[in-house]
Amino acid sequence: MPSLHVLWDLFVGFGRATLLGYGGGPSIIPLYEMEAVDTYHWVTKEEFASALAFGNTLPGPIATKLTAYIGYRVAGVPGALVALAAVVLPTAILMIALFAVLYKFREHTVVKGIVKAARPVVFVMLASLAADYAQYAFSGTWAAFALAALFFVAVRYFGVHPGLAVAAALVLGILIEYAAPRAL
């Protein structure tokens, strides 16, 4: 059984990151990384990147998958449950309360200003995540760049469903690994 101190740290670390994040799972990931890698040292930067990559291949929100995995690594099933609670409960309660207020005052200048000011912050958080993740995604090989370009064009311009693109990438990755183990 993990100590209460470890479980509390999981709740505080992931709860703090969740409450400070704005814009959904992908924009919160750099905050989760800061807590898990830099603040508490639960996982290394490479382990975090691997968990992020694998978690993105599975259905559902990345925030819950990533924090549950790290919670499990740190403290088993209780750690996973505490990490999930830290992500879901505070935001669910705040969402219900905040939405009621924002909806009531949605035409007010202050509310419009809050929403407009938050957009660039969310963009920077997503761009930061993309920049940090790029070093793991591409590893300096031509095949990784070609694969990224292919799937970007397929999803963005040809309307391929992202889920199908991920499934195709998994199959293609297996085929490439068997054909040329160092291609990716």
Express each pLDDT in 66-91 by its tens digit: 999 999 999 999 999 999 999 999 88
Residues 111 and 143 in one domain: no
Residues 80 and 126 in one domain: yes
Could you say which of 135, 160, 176 is where a domain stops? 135
In the chain, at which residue ranges do the beta strands (DSSP E only) sit? none
pLDDT band at 184 (very low <50, low <70, confident <90, very high): low
Residues 73 and 105 in one domain: yes
Residues 162 and 183 in one domain: yes
CB atoms within 10 A of CB 176: 17
**pLDDT for 182:** 57
Give the residue, 100 or 39, on which the prediction is more confident: 39
Q: What CA–CA distance (Å, rounded) separates 30 from 170?
A: 24
Please give the average per-residue pLDDT across 23-51, as a whole number. 91
Give the residue, 139 or 60, on which the prediction is more confident: 60
Residues 103 and 35 in one domain: yes
CB-based contact 30:128 (threshold 8 Å): yes
CB atoms within 10 A of CB 134: 12
pLDDT band at 160 (very low <50, low <70, confident <90, very high): very high
Domain holding 180, by residue range, is 139-184
User: How many independent structural domains does the chain possess?
Assistant: 2
Please give the average per-residue pLDDT across 121-136, as a whole number. 82
Residues 103 and 147 in one domain: no
Residues 167 and 121 in one domain: no
Could you say which of 135, 151, 169 is where a domain stops? 135
Residues 148 and 67 in one domain: no
